[in-house]
Amino acid sequence: MVSYDVAFVPSDEKSHREVLARIHAAWCSGERPPAQPRPVIEQSWLRMKRSGVNPAKEPAEIADRPSGEDAPILAVLPLVKGMLEPLLDDDVLLVLADERGTVQWRGGGRKMMQSADRLAFQPGRRWSEQAVGTNAIGTALSAGIPVHVHAAEHFCISHHGWSCAAAPVVDPRSGRPLGVIDLSFPVGEANPMAVALVASIARQIGVELKETHRRELRRMAASARTPAAGQWALVDHWGWVAASGGIAAADRIRLPGMPLDGFSVDGLGLVRAEPLHGGWLLRPAASSGTSVQLELTLSAHRCWFTIRGSGAETIHELQGRRASVVSWLADHSGGVSGRELAEAIYGRPDALAAVRAEISRINRELGTVVHSRPYRLAESIQVIDRRM
């Protein structure tokens, strides 16, 4: 379920705007505010204070444009225009920004375009929080949720005449934002439900992108030359499984940064990745004609994985809690529960989310070297213990 809250109620918008101005002035002067800003705004203002953003700073810095190709967010422009362009008039500005908050496209009436120009709210300009303070585009990216920033909720005073609602568009392949859809208004013409509208549009676009990705996987499966027998999995560059043989593959396999190095996959063991157009063919190392070894070396305060194969050797070092997780699992080859691992690493059994995050990072870097239910190291890993 999408989380957001409405910035104001139409019946008291003017008086609310006055309260927001007093809150902002008190925050900037270090005085006690008459009320607290909404949580999403307060958290953003705290980020601004920590990073030293000046509320009186000038409009956005110039950002570098992507070189050689369009930003990926522009792929959804036809969908966005089809849904929202009929609503555009002299009091509405529609903006698409990329994952860094750089404006890539805008549309709207002449009056809004001129007002936006005075704020450098233009294609090629950066509207991240770091560049221009609390604003719908930058704060939606920082918070990861749809956000409405109204009047003096903007950290920079130059933006107090605006009301803007934005929602991130998430790439279903990577799970990361492609960018942001933003609707901006003069503060007196703002609609409190604009945030619900952009959230709904972003959600619909997410559904369209998922279906597009499914079609890409089906085309990949139909066109790739896959083995007639044996165990294998065909995955795209993000690890989503297009087809498999001889195993019950999960929907997605975590790929390391360099899949050609060899890594472990549940159901396949140690594998090699053969590059194909659009992705990789994963097969057990033995059946691919390659001898690959995955070795874990433990020392007192760190550990490292060594991958050997095809006459090459790759070393991945782990430190801190990642090293602690792997070392603990090496000492408990039969596997442990999440609560046991949380107690061992964090000193409290309820730190399950932190444990899952660390294991996800390990597997994202190296492939599936840690299996779950229970948590355990892959059987193909040879452990060398050099701890004293």
| CATH annotation of 10-212 | 3.30.450.40
- pLDDT surpasses 80 at 213: yes
Residues of the chain with CATH 1.10.10: 292-385
- pLDDT surpasses 90 at 314: no
What global pTM score does this model have?
0.73
Residue 245 has phi, psi (to 5 degrees) of -145, 135
| CATH annotation of 292-385 | 1.10.10
Mean pLDDT of 157-170: 96
Query: What confidence tier does 181 reach under pLDDT thresholds 50, 70, 90?
Result: very high
Residue 54 has phi, psi (to 5 degrees) of -85, 120
Angle between helices 352-366 and 320-331 (to 10 degrees): 90
- pLDDT surpasses 70 at 271: yes
Query: What confidence tier does 275 reach under pLDDT thresholds 50, 70, 90?
Result: confident
C-alpha Rg value of the chain to the nearest Å? 25
DSSP 31-94: PPPSSPPPHHHHHHHHHHHHHT--TT--SPPB-PPPSSS--GGGGGHHHHHHHHGGG--TT-EE
Handedness of CA 324, 325, 331, 336 (dihedral sign): positive
- DSSP code, position 299: -
Residues of the chain with CATH 3.30.450.40: 10-212
Classify 259 as helix, strand or coil. Answer: helix
341 and 375 in contact (C-beta within 8 Å)? yes
Tell which residue, 270, 356, 366, has the closest CA to residue 317: 366
Query: Which of 60-69, 147-156, 334-343, 351-360 is most confident?
Result: 147-156
pLDDT in tens, 108-140: 988 999 999 999 999 999 999 999 999 999 999
Q: How far apart are the C-alpha atoms of 156 and 169, rounded to whole Å?
A: 25
In terms of DSSP bridges, do strands 241-245 and 232-236 run parallel, antiparallel, or are they unpaired? antiparallel
Average pLDDT score over the chain: 86
